[in-house]
Amino acid sequence: MGMVNSTGFGGLVSSGLARVAFSKYIIAKGTERDFLSDIVNNEWDQDVLDCMQVVQFSVKPYVGEWRDYNDTQQMIADEPTPSFIKLQICRAAYKAIAISELDKVQLCDRYTMFESAFVDALWEGLATLCRKYAIGGMYGAAEHHGKHAGLGLDVNLGASGDAITVTSENIHHIFSRARRVLAEKYRWSQTPGEMFALISPAVEEMILNSTKFSKVNELGTSGESQILTGQMKGTIMGFSIYVTNNVITSSTGEISLLFGWRQAYIFYMNIIRARIQPQPKSFVDEYQALAIYDGKAIMPDALAVAVIKLNNTLGDD
């Protein structure tokens, strides 16, 4: 006999609707798009890094300046010496996921979809780990920072405790300063996609709200207003823009923007072992993966950090 509730209708608990069914639609969790390969140097010999823990890279030798010559002068020879940069793969991470045979039976023909979903989540977790590590490494290695940056020590990039206050109308000056200090060190590339800038969502909002952005970008290439779409197409001062929560921020409102040339930081990551291991004395399979990763700044002078504070005068209305 079915349950009767206060309305007199049979309760859903005892009806056919009480049975469990699995939808084919999986609701994606929020994850940051993986842009790491766009901002690091990953074009080295991957096979070498797969097999060896320590890899040595040769640095282009310095041969010195040309000298003035006259007939009575004895020539002086410069002696270039070889120099190297070593990258040692020191870091490893693993992930183990236990899946019960009972879960497989209950999911029935939906299990393949479920398996694909948690494998994707496994990869996203590794990408997040590597992205945080590489960005942290670039922040720590950046040669250009502080109130006295640049060749003449006359470029103010701000500092912790003494950040540069910016508005939507002058924030582009920070990009031009970063461009200058990199160009002065011959660490600027005109190749599209080589230069990058990491900004926070708050900085993106300020740029999108600036009148300079709206005037220049009223119409996109297809005639659609970029102010309506909120898309930051193209570059700013030659920097490809990446919006991320991995930029350094402080409780006092300081935001550290990272600028650089993607050749500056070499990074390597690979899943070297993956297996499905049946567990003894239980109907459980364990999905196991082992990854190695590491990175190093090979051109610290191709990285810059600017510390800013936002002066957002936009009202609450």
Give SS3 for 100.
Answer: strand
Please write the tens of the pLDDT for every residue from 18-40: 566 666 666 767 777 788 999 99
The rounded distance, in Å, linking the Cα atoms of 153 and 151 is 6
Domain boundaries, the chain: 36-64+74-139+267-297, 144-265+299-310
Which residues lie below 8 Å from residue 214, measured CB to CB, with a gap of 6+? 227
Lowest mean pLDDT among 13-22, 136-145, 149-158: 13-22
Q: Please state which CATH class domain 36-64+74-139+267-297 belongs to.
A: alpha beta
Please write the tens of the pLDDT for every residue from 227-266: 444 445 557 889 999 999 999 999 999 999 999 999 999 9
Start-to-end Cα distance in the chain: 58
Q: Token pair of 227, please?
A: 């102010």
Please write the tens of the pLDDT for every residue from 67-101: 888 888 888 888 888 778 888 788 889 889 888 88
4 versus 14: the higher-pLDDT residue is 14
pLDDT of 14:
58
Residue 43's alpha-carbon distances to 75, 82, 125, 172, 265, in angstroms, are 41, 22, 23, 31, 11
Give SS3 for 125.
Answer: helix
Give SS3 for 286.
Answer: strand
Q: What is the pTM of this model?
A: 0.80
Give SS3 for 111.
Answer: helix
Averaged over 310-317, what is the pLDDT? 64
The rounded distance, in Å, linking the Cα atoms of 243 and 202 is 9
**What is the DSSP secondary structure assignment for residue 129, as one 8-state letter?**
H
Cβ atoms of 274 and 93 closer than 8 Å: no
Q: Does the domain spanning 144-265+299-310 belong to CATH 3.30.2320? A: yes
The rounded distance, in Å, linking the Cα atoms of 38 and 16 is 52
Tokens 């599209």 appear where?
192
222, β-bridge pairs? none
